[in-house]
């Protein structure tokens, strides 16, 4: 059985994950508007991942006999000025999400909630990947600088990304 405090925290994290999806969809819209179709694809895939993350928490609450309470999602920013800025914002956001996941893990440890710790371990590992991916793209965009050919090639690479949800609900 999940504690009321943990239930409240995970419901809050569902909101945070859905905000992340909303943010990445806004970034995709900015990318399309600025003719970065590959980046738009990358952000659309990111949006799908974040929605998956929210639903993983949602399903966990249901499995634990808790009640999901969907909270209000804030409006995300719309203007990002440049590819560098949009990926700086992406990395900053992923670091913020990492801190949120760590806070949840600390709460689960304090409550000796072993089931939630197991769930959160997946998210801890996922956040390592999320930050590494955003960092790598940001480095490549900075390396491309003002070279339109290099930026075009990077945009083409980002357009190849696809989303495949893990086969198991435990993944």
Tokens of 11: 């419901």
d(CA 74, CA 30): 18
Give the contacts of 97 (CB within 8 A, at least 6 positions apart): 16, 17, 20, 127, 130
Tokens of 44: 């659309």
Residue 166 has pLDDT above 90, yes or no: no
Domain 4-158's class?
A: mainly alpha
The reported pTM is: 0.92
pLDDT in tens, 56-67: 999 999 999 999
- Which pLDDT band, with edges at 50, 70 and 90, does 161 fall under? confident
How much of the chain exceeds pLDDT 70, in percent? 97
Contact between residue 77 and residue 43 where contact means Cβ atoms under 8 Å apart: no
Residue 151 has pLDDT above 60, yes or no: yes
pLDDT in tens, 108-129: 999 999 999 999 999 999 999 9
- What pLDDT does residue 171 have? 46
Cβ atoms within 10 Å of 152's Cβ, excluding its own? 14
- What pLDDT does residue 169 have? 47
The residue that leads in pLDDT, 1 or 45, is 45
- What pLDDT does residue 1 have? 82
Give the contacts of 40 (CB within 8 A, at least 6 positions apart): 28, 29, 31, 32
Question: What average pLDDT score do residues 87-115 get?
Answer: 98
Residue written as token pair 């943010």: 23
How much of the chain exceeds pLDDT 90, in percent? 91
Contact between residue 154 and residue 144 where contact means Cβ atoms under 8 Å apart: yes
Burial classification of residue 143, based on how many CB atoms lie within 10 Å of its CB (0-12 exposed, 13-18 middle, 19 or more buried): exposed
- Which pLDDT band, with edges at 50, 70 and 90, does 168 fall under? low
Contact between residue 156 and residue 40 where contact means Cβ atoms under 8 Å apart: no
Domain ranges of the chain: 4-158
Tokens of 113: 């909630």
């Amino acid at each position: 059985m999940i504690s009321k405090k943990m239930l409240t925290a995970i419901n809050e994290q569902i909101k945070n994950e859905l905000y992340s999806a909303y943010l990445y969809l806004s970034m995709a819209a900015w990318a399309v508007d600025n003719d970065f179709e590959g980046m738009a694809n990358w952000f659309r895939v990111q949006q799908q991942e974040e929605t998956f993350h929210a639903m993983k928490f949602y399903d966990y609450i249901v499995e634990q006999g808790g009640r999901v309470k969907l909270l209000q999602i804030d409006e995300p920013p719309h203007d990002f000025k440049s590819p560098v800025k949009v990926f700086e914002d992406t990395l900053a956001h992923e670091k913020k999400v990492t801190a949120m996941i760590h806070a949840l893990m600390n709460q689960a440890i304090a409550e000796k909630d072993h089931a939630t710790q197991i769930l959160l371990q997946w998210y801890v590992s996922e956040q390592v990947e999320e930050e590494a991916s955003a960092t790598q793209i940001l480095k490549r965009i900075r390396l491309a600088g003002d070279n339109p050919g290099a930026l075009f090639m990077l945009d083409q690479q980002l357009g190849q990304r696809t989303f495949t949800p893990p086969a198991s609900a435990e993944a």
